[in-house]
Amino acid sequence: MDNLHQCIEALNNLDFNGLYGEDFLLTWKKSSDEIAAVFAAADALRALREMGKPTKIFQSGLGVSLFRDNSTRTRFSFASACNLLGLTVQDLDEGKSQLAHGETVRETANMISFMADVIGIRDDMFIGRGNSYMREVSSAVKQGQLDGVLEQCPTLVNLQCDLDHPTQSLADILHLIHEYGSLQNLRGKKIAMTWAYSPSYGKPLSVPQGIIALATRLGMEVVLAHPKGYEVMPEIEALAATQAKESGGSFHKTYSLEEAFANAHIVYPKSWAPFAAMQQRTALFDEGNNLALEALERELLQTNALHKDWECSEELMKLTSEGRALYMHCLPADISNVSCNEGEVAASVFERNRVSLYKEASNKPYIIAAMILLAKVSKPQTLLQQWAESDAFRWHK
């Protein structure tokens, strides 16, 4: 229970009131205290879970999930977080393009929210779309409550958009906090966020963008590496540079995987699609030009194949700090000779870090639950303390 007390104490020293009643869409719209509060609340919820204490904020209520891209682990993380807090998940199944137009978004957002306390959205396929869709839904339900249509206003949680993947990047950094002992200890650590080769096509940019946008705020030495042409969105790069200056960390770009790995404490090699190609893809999708979309896909796969040497190999790992950097990934990884012939990471590197990777992933439900807790409960410390002292148990063993 020591850990729980530390978490509550940490919350007592943070100003996170700005999270109350608000959506969680982008990490860079939240203050450093608010980010730290999410970490503390996530660890507090995990500590209570370990103690077998129920942590239901809600006696009833719906958590609506709206996935506009396939997902297993994010779906289960959202369902787990809702269950932890007492909400029941109701999925909204829809085609990718069905809710595209303004009037319809506003209407559907209200129609699914009569009993909704939370809406989790994943919409990461098209540049310039996912985040703006989320803001459209958010504004619709806020207006719905003002108009007396909704008895309560559901909080939005970004489960991955075109810009950011906050539940992933926060789960990743929480893993680093656990590995290094504290948020403070991350200062000065070198993290290499790098592209890696994958035989599959068009993975979103939100993971690398989320990592560089978050790690640069923490005083870390952040290096972004990729082959020429595989740029991420320029505004996120600019944001990373500015934040690094403010935090006393650094942000560098390189086209050399070796340079990125050199003396890195943490490496995060992961495939993504070039920003320019993603923009082209959105435009072709808007035109409904399926032939050109297929041609673009073939072209991108061919270009990818020129960079099969961008693999997180044992040789590269030797370049890292003490030859044993922490290997991170959002999973599932394309593992060479396991899930594909040639992929993002050598099997031995992955296997050596497997338990660590699973722990990294296991933070996500708690991060989502922490976002909901801080958006819905004005004095979470009091509630956390009550739960800890209660003699209720989640499970009659």
Instruction: Give the interface with its own copies as residue ranges (CB under 8 A).
Output: 46, 49-50, 54-62, 64, 72-73, 76-77, 79-80, 83-84, 86, 88-90, 92, 94, 101, 103-104, 107-108, 110-112, 114-115, 117, 144, 147-152, 331-332, 335, 338-339, 355, 358-359, 361-362, 364-365, 376-378, 383, 392-397
Q: Which is nearer to its own copies, 100 or 238 (CB)?
A: 100
Query: Least distance to its own copies from the beta carbon of 363, Å?
Result: 9
Q: Which is nearer to its own copies, 32 or 80 (CB)?
A: 80
Q: Which is nearer to its own copies, 296 or 374 (CB)?
A: 374
Integer CA distances (angstroms), 191 to 87, 110, 214, 232, 264, in order = 36, 42, 11, 17, 6
Could you tell me if 210 and 238 are in contact, meaning their C-beta atoms sit under 8 angstroms apart? no
Query: Least distance to its own copies from the beta carbon of 315, Å?
Result: 22
What is the helix (H) or strand (E) element at residue 157, kind and residue range? strand 155-158
Which are the contacts of 74, defined by CB distance < 8 A and separation ≥ 6? Answer: 67, 122, 159, 160, 167, 364
Query: Least distance to its own copies from the beta carbon of 377, Å?
Result: 6
In angstroms, the CA 22 to CA 371 distance is: 10
Query: Least distance to its own copies from the beta carbon of 354, Å?
Result: 8
In angstroms, the CA 138 to CA 116 distance is: 12
Q: Locate 152 and state its tokens.
A: 């309560």
Of 224, 197, 201, 223, nearest to 309 (Cα)?
Answer: 197
Which are the contacts of 6, defined by CB distance < 8 A and separation ≥ 6? Answer: none
What is the helix (H) or strand (E) element at residue 311, kind and residue range? none
Q: Which is nearer to its own copies, 104 or 289 (CB)?
A: 104
Q: Which is nearer to its own copies, 64 or 127 (CB)?
A: 64
Query: Least distance to its own copies from the beta carbon of 350, Å?
Result: 8
Query: Least distance to its own copies from the beta carbon of 222, Å?
Result: 27
Could you tell me if 271 and 303 are in contact, meaning their C-beta atoms sit under 8 angstroms apart? no
Query: Least distance to its own copies from the beta carbon of 246, Å?
Result: 34
- Amino acid identity, position 333: A
Q: Which is nearer to its own copies, 185 or 378 (CB)?
A: 378
Q: Which is nearer to its own copies, 49 or 203 (CB)?
A: 49
Torsion of CA 173, 177, 179, 184, to 10 degrees: 120
